[in-house]
Amino acid sequence: MEREFIMIKPDGVQRGLVGDVVKRIENVGFKIIGMKLLKVSLKQAEQHYAIHKEQPFYDDLLGHITCGPVVAMVVEGKDAVRVTRKIVGATNPIDAVPGSIRGDFALEIGRNIIHAGDSPENAIYEYKIYFNEEEFVEYNKIDERWLYE
């Protein structure tokens, strides 16, 4: 099973959308193995968004992700990254299809509710910023036999 990193950003937390987002992740059948409410430190934000350091929007990214609480989670499932990217929707909510999280809940790219890793490698890199492996809870879901062939 593949692991994916998902973060409900401060705008999603402040708007009370945590339950809606978690429900969509669970509805598809993913298993949440780690989840926490936290305030992202500047050091964590710089590490998370290092790839964007030379971009003009970098400081805005850091400012937003550190401005309030976030919910970070790691989920497991078959093709977790690819499926999550579809659930989340396009980065720019204008391009996100209705039914996706961003398509249903966001209007602007800088307030797009949620972050998800864009590759299995990046998901691992990102979740290691916020979680230690010891924090993950391994268990079998009772519906797994009905989810996977």
Look up residue 3 and give its two tokens.
């692991």
Q: How far apart are CA 48 and CA 63, in angstroms?
A: 13
Backbone dihedral angles phi then psi of residue 49, each to the nearest 5 degrees: -100, 20
Contact status, residue 124 vs residue 3, Cβ threshold 8 Å: yes
Residues pairing with 27 in the sheet: none
Look up residue 17 and give its two tokens.
């959308």
CA–CA distances in Å: residue 70 to residues 24, 93, 107, 149:
17, 19, 19, 34
Q: Which of 48, 52, 64, 115 is catalytic?
A: 115
Q: Treating both helix axes as pointing N-terminal to C-terminal, what angle do 18-27 and 80-88 enclose, rounded to 10 degrees? A: 140
Comparing C-alpha atoms, which of 111, 139, 137, 116 is closest to residue 127? 116
The reply to whether 115 belongs to the active site is: yes
**Residues taking part in catalysis:** 115
